[in-house]
Amino acid sequence: MRTLLITGPGGSGRTTVAAATAQRAAAEGVRTLLLGADRTDTLGAALGVRTGPTPVTVAPRLTAWRPDADAGFRDDLAGFQDRAATVLDLLGASRLDPEEVTPLPGAEELTVLRALRDAALAEAHDLLVVDLPPAPQALALLALPEELRRYLRRLLPPERQAARALRPMLGRLAGVPMPAEWLYETTARWDTELAAVEAVLADRGTCVRLVAEPGPAGADAIRDARLGLALRALPVESLVANRVLPEDSADDGRLGRLVTQQRKTLEEWGAAARPVAHLGHDPRGADDLAALAAPAVNPAGSPVEWPVADRLASDGVLVWHIPLPGAVRDELDLIRRGDELVVTAGPFRRIVALPSVLRRCTVDGAALRDGELCVRFAPDPALWPRTR
């Protein structure tokens, strides 16, 4: 199954484009599931059909689903209280009733990730279209599985989990309490769930469609979004230039400047941009969504590759090529820490594991050329295999 993640700056009409994209795919015979992430039913307003925690059939081969973050959070908390019952009783803690629980920040994000995983694993559809939050929040959401898994591995390493059968004896030897069994089980379950989400995001069939109104603000937002997505190795399937005014609007004194701004931005975006016309009103229902003529989903994505080039014979180094379109040299930072590389590009940061061949090397320098970060690694004589 293909997964199309749709995001863009706030107010750009990404939800409408997501609905129009899903409707077009279904009309072309593709079994499509449209997943909404908003707490309010903006998705239903665009479709002309109410959406909610129960999947609803919008049209032949088109289903819409908007998970309930509140219910999901209450269920998770209830499950946690059940698993930690012994500890809570020892502490004299009182249980929280579902009626008094208010979801904490992050509950919606976790609900979306879980729904993304469940929808992809169900394999009941050919295409999953996900209406993500605005780009800054979407990028943080897409980074969450990898970052949470890294935190879990640091807080409770796998080797300690493997020794959980020896927990009572280790506790007596160390003289300190060891983590309870339920903690190991909870950590393993979370790691499994997060790994499933990571697998969906890393799948070759997963890509991102960006939506923005052509103009200075839209151009800046798209530049940042492309950089953040590249750092996560997520390919951009297309760029939708939404709410494009007709050229004859340039004769209208009130709209002339806006048309000029749009024209300039469209020229900068070039053939990569797919224009979607402004209907003159907020699209509502199947007829309006069809009139938008949203671009068809590309049949095949182009995965983002981070290749390692072997230049040992000529320059004595290996070069790791990391595409970072739109990156600025003064806003780049690299830190080697053990077998990881901490990459900071503008407002985005990612800690990535080094390919195995580079772990036996030292960083020899880096350069940014044409939107690509080239990091040079020199073999460490103490670790590099000797040749006869």
> CATH number for the domain including 179?
3.40.50.300
What average pLDDT does range 306-324 have in this prediction?
Answer: 95
Sheet holding 348-353, edge to edge: 332-337, 340-345, 348-353
Number of domains into which the chain is organized: 2
Pairing relationship of beta strands 2-7 and 317-323 according to DSSP bridges:
unpaired
Mean pLDDT of the chain: 85
Range of the domain at 116: 2-69+104-292
**Quick check: 228 pLDDT over 80?**
yes
What is the distance between the alpha carbons of residues 47 and 33, in angstroms, rounded to a whole number? 13
**Does 10 map to a domain?**
yes
Q: Are residues 287 and 333 in the same domain?
A: no
Angle at 357 between CA 328 and CA 382, to 5 degrees: 110
The confidence band for 100, taking pLDDT boundaries of 50, 70 and 90, is low
The most confident of 3-7, 164-168, 177-181, by mean pLDDT: 3-7
Q: Are residues 133 and 273 in the same domain?
A: yes
**Does 271 map to a domain?**
yes
What is the distance between the alpha carbons of residues 377 and 158, in angstroms, rounded to a whole number? 29
**Does 187 map to a domain?**
yes
Q: Are residues 139 and 284 in the same domain?
A: yes
Q: Are residues 340 and 286 in the same domain?
A: no
pLDDT of 93: 58
Q: Are residues 270 and 354 in the same domain?
A: no
Q: Are residues 236 and 207 in the same domain?
A: yes
Residue ending a domain, choose from 231, 265, 292: 292
The most confident of 76-80, 183-187, 236-240, by mean pLDDT: 236-240
Per-residue pLDDT tens over the stretch 15-73? 999 999 999 999 999 999 999 988 889 999 999 999 999 999 999 999 999 988 666 55
Full DSSP string of 9-28: STTS-HHHHHHHHHHHHHHT
The answer to whether residues 151 and 29 touch, using CB atoms and an 8 Å cutoff, is no
Using a pLDDT cut of 70, give the percent of the chain over it.
80
pLDDT of 97: 65
The answer to whether residues 46 and 284 touch, using CB atoms and an 8 Å cutoff, is yes
The answer to whether residues 244 and 266 touch, using CB atoms and an 8 Å cutoff, is yes
